[in-house]
A and B are shown apart, each in its own frame.
Chain A
Amino acid sequence: MTGIGKPLDRKENRRFLTGGGRFIADLDVAGVHDAVFVRSSLAHGSIHSIDSSDALAADGVVAVLTADDLDDDSNAIERTFYTLDPAFVEEASVFLAPYSEPLFARERVVRSGEALAMVVATDRAAAEDGRDLVFADIDPLEVVADIEAALEVDSPQIHPDIPGNLHGRFAVKVGHPEAVETGHSVTGRFRVHRSLGSPIENRGVIAEWSDGKLTVWSTTQIPHVLKSFLCEALGLSEESVRVAAPDVGGSFGGGIYPEEILVPWAAMKLGVPIRWLEDRTEQLSGSRHSRDQVIDATLSFGSNGKFEALSMRILQDCGAFNPFGITLPYNSASHARSVYRIDNFSCEALCVATNKTRNTPVRGAGRPEVIFVLERLIDMAAEETGIDAVALRRQNLIRAEEMPFPMGMLYRDGVPMVYDSGDFPAQFELALDISDYPELKRQKAEANEQGRLLGVGVATHVEGTGFGPHETAVVGVDFKGEVYVHTGAQPHGQGLETSLAQVCSEVLDLEANRITVWGGDTALTETGGGTFGSRSAVTAGSAVLEASRQLRDRALGLAATALGSESSQLELRDGLVTDGKRTVTFAELALVASEDEGLPLEATIEWTPPTVTFGSGTAVALVEVDQETGLVDVLEYTAVDDCGTVLNPAVVKGQLEGGVVHGLGNALLEEARYDDQGQFLTGSFMDYLLPTAMDVPQMKVAHRSHPTPLNPLGAKGVGEGTTSSAPAAIINAICDALGVQATEMPLTPERIRGLLTGKAKETAWS
């Protein structure tokens, strides 16, 4: 059969393999006009004037819109992406400055690339020609491009209402870290540079306003959220707005962006459909930036190696605007202890404003940073104590019999944080086993004798997945007897069309390829959460499970009446219900439902998780470093992950492997750079390096499933875990190869050369 756990080929594959995918740029909207944005070349400045007259005279240009076309009230997004429980705010001493992000810059620009104007023309080439003719007169102001400089007392202020360039802060404490006196500790200042989500498809928005109805297509992960932002921003009722996502070419990080409001606004104002297709430079410079933390951390341990306390202070470079509040550094805090028992913990975090693009959650979202810090500290502690790094980890793992394990602090949803299920030691040993860890160590030793630099690294992770609030599923049968699943989730590569069909297939005993799954459209489900934060298998999966069960019960009830039998005597499968002698089809039941009850044969569930459920994993990496060039070759990589109930092993394997390689990019290649004037330096794929097929090791991925009791499927999210541990495992391996303790990521060839020469100097001096 095709139910939960079967390795089905994905239903969506066929259309993508034959050129049948329909992405935003492929949509055909009659009379559509193209929009492009004029963007600030300066990172900080005051705007004198914007002269559009030449542009307006150019062929094909129909309008140039600026902040002057919007009144002050409607020229800003002020809604944030978090709601914090007052008890949580109190407990974590949360402070947050107000968030207000202009749609078009007015008076001042605060980052390079900020939108100054929108040029609308009959086609894209004409719009781009027009863009070159818009002249913006901007006086430069002093730029804040460095996170530490931003906090200095005499630093220029980026926003008048954000004193000290402080977007926010929090502090959490578990146990009594200040009272721990072991006499043994390791400390470091760690830097995790800025990196990008960088899907291969750029963003895009198309909006059409006709007959008082607004239809918006966007490459969004969160159509229902965008809809409610639009209703608020444009003063429209819920009924008059539809937001739909077509096929979306990856995302890896999200939010709502000014362009998603401006394009619909312009379509309403000008009365023509408008399309904006982002280009690669805009994507790299202006969306989905992440990481960018400086972390001071200390791990204290007993002379026997038992971890006693971890304390950290995080500076998070949030860029000019901070719609995500403390989300990222709080994710860091809540995942900082990974799978280890550390009873005393403290974390203080400052969210700092700089003249850069806003920071958003990108695959891993605050976790890769702290996992890197923790797993580096553990290797440093191993060196300090002389205890083997693997043995040191092993002795500090939370044991299976200690689960569920309370972590002594609140999760971001305000619920006490508990590792709900899993067997960390078994998972750890399995990863060592699969990777053949002793053999890797032997290879390293052998290579060293030949003068080659090989190293082995180990790291772990946990990941709170399936974040609330809710997700919606509608499961129904149409008059032809076809089964459909509608969900508020918005798949963009996760294979949800297949995995959700499998969940429904399991309940209805019906082949998954006879079940059609639709998502990402506000016309399908009234409410919906969206797909982010490794949540959809958990939230949409559970909603589909419950809705399928409800539909099944209704079908059985209707069939019982129709056949005059007890529903307990009936069997439902393959789109039929039978009592052994007689049979009714789903199509007939749909008709009965409509005629007798006046209702579709359909069930709707809005499923809300009680809190997050924790996935976890262990990774082992073997690397070789070229001492001449500083280039790193990751030779072998093993990842073991616990994602609870596996809906489709092929989909899970894909998520695990893709996650590893994203983490590999973070470890070695990916760095979004600015100069000291806030100019973005990595605006093409030649400057911002994504891993290619050449960079990828032989990967072995496996799962060791411990279903969670927190949802009816037992599923945990799987989208981000391996991205969280990969940088730590790879960098630990590099440090093992070089015999150094690195504190920065990515470890680019130039940084590795720096470490090697630094070490050479040290040896020369000593």
Chain B
Amino acid sequence: MVDLTDGPHDALGIELNVNGELVSSTVPVRQSLADWLRAELGLFSIHLGCEHGVCGACTILVDGRSVRSCLMLAVQADGTDITTAEHLAEEGGLNSLQASFNQHGALQCGYCTPGFLMTATEYLREGGTPDRERIKERLAGNLCRCTGYQSIVEAVASAAEELDDQ
């Protein structure tokens, strides 16, 4: 664990699991988790639409919970387990949620898309139902300017239905 009590540091060592791989690194203490994951690990699914914690484009899963990676420091991620949109499916494939986004036309420019996928992944993993109102509530923290949301809501609902059937 990073010991934050032993005085000021410019950089600290961290060790964490990212998309199934163990990573250790020394990170500047003021670097955001989003900036570090993008710059050091090339995880470009993390998009920075506001860096104010509002748009949700930078959403990733930290220990299974959706987190705005622009609002978290890299040092705070020490010891965690992180998943990004790069790791939702096998290389070259789409998982059922991604396939559902594709089918329902739930993306246009694609900038907001990874954030929506991660928020929806958390919802589905919690056993989220196809109830449109609940899905809308859960997605309300992610902004999309292109699609008008209806197709995204439908995509999540049909992915939830598919999981229900299994």
Contact = CB atoms under 8 A, between A and B. Distances in A.
A575 interface: no
Contacts of B25: none
Contact of A694 (B117, B140, B146): B140
Question: Which of B43, B49, B85: most chain A CB closer than 10 A?
Answer: B49
A492 B117 contact: no
Interface in B24-73: 28, 30-31, 38, 43-45, 47-52, 54-55, 57
B52 to A, nearest CB: 5
Interface residues of A, number: 53
Contact of A26 (B44, B49, B148): B44
A635 to B, nearest CB: 13
B107 to A, nearest CB: 6
> Which interface residue of B31, B49, B110, B140 has the most chain A CB atoms within 10 A?
B110
A720 interface: no
B144 interface: yes
Most buried by B among A13, A23, A494, A657: A13
A248 interface: yes
A19 B109 contact: no
Given A13-B102, A685-B55, A248 B109 contact: yes
A758 B53 CA distance: 38
B110 A12 contact: yes
A696 interface: yes
Contact of B49 (A200, A247, A252): A200
A680 to B, nearest CB: 15
Interface string A644-670: 000000110110011111100000000
B86 A249 contact: no
A690 interface: yes
Contacts of B146: 250, 493, 654, 658
Given A125-B30, A684-B54, A693-B136, A14 B44 contact: no
Contacts of B101: 13, 17
A199 B111 contact: yes
B143 interface: yes
Contact of A654 (B28, B108, B114): B108
B57 A200 contact: yes
A21 interface: yes
A659 B54 CA distance: 22
A6 interface: no
B147 interface: yes
Interface string B115-153: 001000000000000000001110111111111111111
Interface string B84-98: 111011000010001
Contacts of A19: 43-45, 84-86, 114
A43 B54 CA distance: 27
Nearest to B98: A17
B108 A495 contact: yes
Contact of A21 (B44, B94, B148, B152): B44
B50 A685 contact: yes
B102 A9 contact: yes
A108 B65 CA distance: 50
A10 B44 contact: no
Contacts of A249: 47, 49, 109-112
B136 A201 contact: no
A280 B50 contact: yes
Contacts of A696: 136, 148-150, 153
Given A26-B44, A199-B109, A280 B143 contact: no
A429 B54 CA distance: 41
B143 A685 contact: yes
Contacts of B76: none
Contacts of A198: 145
Interface in A248-263: 248-250, 252
Given A492-B109, A661-B149, A693-B140, A18 B54 contact: no
Given A654-B147, A661-B149, A696-B150, A16 B110 contact: yes
B145 A252 contact: yes
A225 B62 CA distance: 43
Given A125-B30, A249-B111, A662 B94 contact: no
Given A19-B43, A22-B44, A657-B150, A494 B108 contact: yes
Given A17-B101, A18-B94, A685 B54 contact: yes
Given A14-B94, A493-B146, A685-B52, A654 B105 contact: yes
A252 B111 CA distance: 14
B158 interface: no
Contact of A686 (B48, B52, B89): B52
A690 B84 CA distance: 25
A493 B54 CA distance: 22
A202 B52 contact: no
A14 B102 contact: yes
Nearest to A495: B108
A319 B45 CA distance: 36
B145 to A, nearest CB: 5
Q: For A15, A26, A660, A692, which residue has the most chain B Cβ atoms within 10 angstroms?
A: A692
B80 interface: no
Nearest to A722: B148
B145 A200 contact: yes
16 contacts: A16-B110, A17-B98, A19-B44, A19-B85, A23-B44, A26-B38, A198-B145, A200-B109, A249-B110, A658-B146, A690-B143, A692-B141, A693-B136, A693-B152, A693-B153, A694-B140
Given A18-B94, A693-B142, 17 more contacts: A9-B103, A13-B102, A18-B88, A19-B85, A23-B44, A247-B110, A248-B109, A249-B111, A252-B145, A279-B51, A657-B148, A658-B146, A660-B148, A685-B55, A686-B54, A692-B143, A696-B150
Q: Which 5 A-B pairs have the closest CB atoms?
A: A16-B110, A249-B111, A19-B45, A493-B109, A661-B148
